[in-house]
Amino acid sequence: MKKIMLVGEWKSGKSSLIRCLSGGDYRPRKVFALDYHGCFINTPSEFLENRRFYPSLITASADCGALLFVQAADRCTSQLPPQFASMFNRLVLGVVTKIDLPGARVPLARRFLENAGVRRILEVSAVTGAGIADLKLALGGLPG
């Protein structure tokens, strides 16, 4: 199975998403380098927040079948640059996380992902499980 790389800001829900998609055996932690777990690659938030790390993201994505741009619905800002998805020559899906939170701004999160060049956006909650089945299907039917 091809690898899936998650890119997003700090506290965007990347680790929780990996835990949901991998069956619950992933332990979330603050990562300072690429963190591999099965078919998933968790990237440090600094790789998105600092332009000097963009080449590292591009290189790490070379072995990936898909990238997930993760945007939390409880954020009113985004670090995703305009048309960022165009840097990657592979499937890029946008994932709006934390849709279950009170005051979640799902339309704003979707707009951030659209501005980043993402064409397909899914909305999920790692807490309630909403949208996880659709995300697994979009990724080619992950087990579990």
Mean pLDDT in the chain?
Answer: 92
DSSP states along 61-113:
GGGEEEEEEEEETT-S---PPTTGGGG-SSEEEEEEE-TTSTT--HHHHHHHH
Predicted confidence (pLDDT) per residue in 40-62, tens digit: 999 999 999 999 999 999 999 99
Measure the CA–CA gap between 133 and 28, rounded to whole angstroms. Answer: 21
Query: Could you report the per-residue pLDDT of 99-141, keeping only the tens digit for each?
Result: 999 999 999 999 999 999 999 999 999 999 999 999 999 998 6
Q: Which domains does the chain have, with CATH numbers?
A: 3-138 (3.40.50.300)
C-alpha closest to that of 124 among 68, 83, 79: 68
Sheet holding 3-8, edge to edge: 35-37, 40-42, 3-8, 64-72, 91-97, 120-123
Is 142 a residue whose pLDDT tops 70? no
